[in-house]
Chains A and B, each alone.
Chain A
């Protein structure tokens, strides 16, 4: 059962072209920090395990939490890293580690993964945005020095960005004339005053104009009832459907957010609710990418700021925990069906193959065919794309 509703979006020739030359990335960002014990690294029968049972997956030998039954059936497309230690229990700082591959650096802002890959992977002349965030937060800060083109285009649930339509009282001719006039003025202003800010200003208009020509990628009215049944009818399902449409359209980097997992109280009840929402559309998304041949050049990462404490607190919650947690990833450049690393019996420490944000970034870069040891150049200075002190997780790379 394919996503027939999306099939008209990309011409087959263009899809092949994309497959051969452009890697894409989808990050599922589980705001607040999903519990690794209730997802990828269950510890049943221990003092930290909680009430849920593990289930078998489509990969013999890999068990995940029973709250992810649909995802379990897609495990052969995914791999797990169960030995992440980011040593940062603050939401903002943890997010920076996961988004930039290193700790917050005073006086310098490294670009976020979405902006970096938009910059490094997206065709420069594409009318499509390189980095779209669907309820995944994001700001101009994400792009840092990479320029406004790589700032995330932020979408809400199931709608196109604001002001996509030309106001009705302005004709196309009048609009083109207005744009031409503005360009003329900008060019004359730029003569002798060439400046980044002016270029940014001008580029923003060009980008907006391009995007206005791509309105169809936000149109979900053609999605069939069958597909809505498969994904579900709730905001996160809509985000997944939107993400699939954007990937099919060729958008380089899509970040899909899901709120919220910061379950200091009643961790288990809330994880039932949140993962109950997450599981099915995420699994459908993975399956559809695979069925449509898109997974071969699209990397999927499920991540967040950190994991949650193995210790179950007095409110039957779990608190922030970065010392031993997990992420899931798969698709382009990633060997499927693998488990990297191991935590101890009750998940309180990494026992094997400890990795941090740097290792993850090296791995992401390598997976999409980029060299993480190349530098960004900014203001005449080189900045390492990934923490040079770390390496890729070689065994995970296809």
Chain B
């Protein structure tokens, strides 16, 4: 940074500060809108479209400014909508997150409760199992009791069984004895009766009496027998009764134990059922726990998701806010610019001019240009590079891509810079990015590509070259639209009419060809052979349309070069030009310098107000010359420290950059003219 801006120049410093304030917001911003990009905003940086260059035609420039204001307004609105949307999404995510977190809290209680239930159920199972074991033990004891009772019963039955025949025998014996007694008794009774019977013969009586006696003997026997048997029966009967009582008792005991056993079995079943129930309860409560845990996991996942969403939304907020801020800044700038056109376009006084900055390189620059914001100065140099300097601090980038000398460069309102090179290519650059980058390379011409122009609406780039052609390119996709054929010598330069309806190309021999944009039909030739000569001594063509420009209102076309050549190869001739009435095609004046400057015009521009034409060039030294339209001789000349090859007017209309042979680009400032008559102000509706 050896050549800083002269610090005593307050105005330029102010301009620089203004520019700085605009540019600090940056030239690249992240895109928003799609979620994928939102996750990594920095990866999707794209250049912001910047306000357009101030066209030499204030009306045209105003149109651009209006378009830009409208564009930035709508873009800002869109960005704000997007930002609101992001905020809404963010809020929604926040609410959902909170809900999910509430749900999670509930679920956590639920899980705790389920866990307690599970634990309790498991304790119940343990208790039931213990109870079951007790029942089982009891049952085993019961079984023993039953067995004991059964055995006792069996014994009782056996005893009973044993006594039963005895009692039956005793009964029978008793009954037999009684029957015998009864028979005896009846026999006695019969014998007594018979013995008492008087009728009886003694023999009979005797027999009867014997019989009675026998019967009475027998009666004694039977009575004893009966008594014995009754006694025996009584004994057996008592024994039987005892056996029966014992049996009954055994039966009762047995039944009692059976009943107890049955009751115990029921207890077991109950205990088993209790265990099963407790286990079922455990399973159930575990299922409940699992379920609530699953629910908890789902809610947790949802919370994570919502947290991510929230973060994503929040991460988009800042870039969106940044971009909104940038867009707001751009809108402010473009609004100010538009307002500036509407209110007080600066009017420069060319006689008040001074050098304000020197941009140094190590090889001569051949072409220069400003970007539409006026922040950067570009130059193409003899080392094939294109240089980009930030104006206020001279921060310098060197862009490589051309294989030969760059011949011309233009930064379009889109921020894309187009440049042509002597190797015949058309290059497109992302000119305002940091760092700037090469976008595309197009083989455009055989031999030198000498110049280019961007159409006022930015949709076309036209290049011209040594293949005698002009080529029309679509800026949207870089495709070749058409070739304009008709020149019979190298095509040197070109300009779009401010209306965008016409294109004029100029060649080595001073032939200007007018073409209708769109249909691309040839309209007419204009004759600028005042800046051409065939040198009979050197047998060579000399001259060419080096500078070309339209007046802002499109009524005048001016070209510049070298005329009155006396020695082509020494470059001895006059810096000259010509101005035409573009409506009639009539050449109005041949423009020459008041000093009859020996050399050539290399570049030419119209004042943004159409008040003067400025040209730059040189021979053995260099100069800037100023003409008023309609006057043949220049009214002012400002000597430069070397031959200048190109000129560019800053968007502010007050600064001029020139490319000089001494390896510099120098910026000169014209002071605003406080006494300038009011300039007719264009209106926004135009």
Contacts and interface: CB of A to CB of B under 8 A. Distances in A.
Interface in B428-474: 447-448, 466
Interface string A252-274: 00000001101111101110111
Interface in B483-506: 490
A270 B569 contact: yes
B570 interface: yes
B570 A52 contact: no
B619 interface: yes
B661 interface: yes
A260 B537 contact: yes
B570 A264 contact: yes
Given A262-B569, A265-B571, A315-B643, A270 B363 contact: no
Contacts of A273: 540-541
A32 interface: yes
A226 to B, nearest CB: 24
Contact of B539 (A45, A52, A259): A259
A311 to B, nearest CB: 11
Given A260-B569, A265-B569, A47 B382 contact: yes
A53 interface: yes
Given A32-B569, A53-B423, A270-B569, A47 B404 contact: no
Contact of B405 (A51, A260, A262): A51
Nearest to A67: B447
Nearest to A267: B569
B620 interface: yes
Contacts of B21: none
B124 interface: no
A272 B541 CA distance: 11
B538 A272 contact: no
Given A273-B541, A315-B619, A315-B643, A52 B569 contact: no
Contact of A53 (B404, B643, B645): B404
Nearest to B403: A53
Q: Contact residue range for chain A? A: 20 to 34
A259 B539 CA distance: 6
Contacts of A268: 422
Nearest to B362: A47
A370 B572 CA distance: 46
B306 interface: no
29 contacts: A32-B538, A45-B384, A47-B363, A47-B382, A51-B423, A52-B422, A53-B403, A53-B404, A53-B423, A235-B539, A259-B538, A260-B539, A260-B540, A262-B538, A263-B569, A264-B569, A264-B570, A265-B569, A265-B571, A265-B572, A266-B571, A270-B540, A270-B569, A273-B540, A273-B541, A274-B539, A314-B620, A317-B569, A317-B571
A32 B537 CA distance: 11
Q: Which 8 A-B pairs have the closest CB atoms?
A: A265-B571, A51-B422, A260-B538, A51-B405, A314-B661, A314-B643, A51-B404, A315-B571
A275 B364 CA distance: 25
Interface of B: 363-364, 382-384, 403-405, 422-423, 447-448, 466, 490, 508, 537-542, 544, 568-572, 618-620, 642-643, 645, 661
A312 interface: yes
Nearest to B619: A315
Contacts of A47: 363, 382-383
Most A CB atoms within 10 A — which of B423, B539, B568?
A: B539
A236 to B, nearest CB: 9
A307 to B, nearest CB: 15
Given A52-B404, A314-B618, 9 more contacts: A51-B423, A53-B404, A259-B538, A262-B569, A264-B571, A269-B508, A273-B540, A315-B619, A317-B571
Contact of B466 (A263, A266, A272, A315): A272
A274 B540 contact: yes
A33 to B, nearest CB: 10
A281 to B, nearest CB: 14
A349 B540 CA distance: 30
Contacts of A263: 569
A131 to B, nearest CB: 23
Contacts of B618: 314
A264 B538 CA distance: 12
B314 to A, nearest CB: 52
B468 to A, nearest CB: 12
A90 B256 CA distance: 155
Interface string A49-68: 01111000000000000000
Interface of A is mostly: loop
Nearest to B537: A260
A361 to B, nearest CB: 29
A273 B544 CA distance: 13
A272 B539 CA distance: 13
Contacts of A272: 447-448, 466, 490
A235 B534 CA distance: 15
B600 to A, nearest CB: 8
A20 B280 CA distance: 126
Contacts of A316: 645
Contacts of B423: 51, 53
Contacts of A52: 404, 422
A270 B423 CA distance: 17
A259 B643 CA distance: 27
A273 to B, nearest CB: 5
B447 to A, nearest CB: 7
Contacts of A269: 490, 508, 544
Nearest to B383: A47
Contacts of B642: 314
Contacts of B544: 269
Contacts of A51: 382, 404-405, 422-423, 448
A273 B618 CA distance: 22
Contacts of A315: 571, 619-620, 643
Most A CB atoms within 10 A — which of B540, B570, B645?
A: B540
A266 B568 CA distance: 9
Nearest to A319: B570
Contacts of A266: 542, 571
Contacts of A235: 539
Interface in A101-124: none
Nearest to A236: B539
A264 B540 CA distance: 13
Contacts of B542: 266, 270
A370 B382 CA distance: 47
Nearest to B661: A314
Contacts of B620: 314-315
A262 B490 CA distance: 21
A207 B382 CA distance: 56
Contacts of B569: 32, 260, 262-265, 270, 317
A259 to B, nearest CB: 5
Nearest to A313: B661
Contacts of A265: 568-572
A262 B538 CA distance: 8
A235 B363 CA distance: 38
Contacts of B572: 265
Contacts of A50: 405
A389 to B, nearest CB: 35
Nearest to B404: A51
A312 B661 CA distance: 10
A317 B599 CA distance: 13
A315 B572 CA distance: 10
A263 B569 CA distance: 5
Nearest to A266: B571
A268 B466 CA distance: 12
B622 to A, nearest CB: 8
Contact of B382 (A32, A259, A262, A312): A312
A259 B568 CA distance: 12
A274 B542 CA distance: 12
Contacts of B541: 273
Contacts of B490: 269, 272
B576 to A, nearest CB: 15
Nearest to B573: A265
Contacts of B619: 315
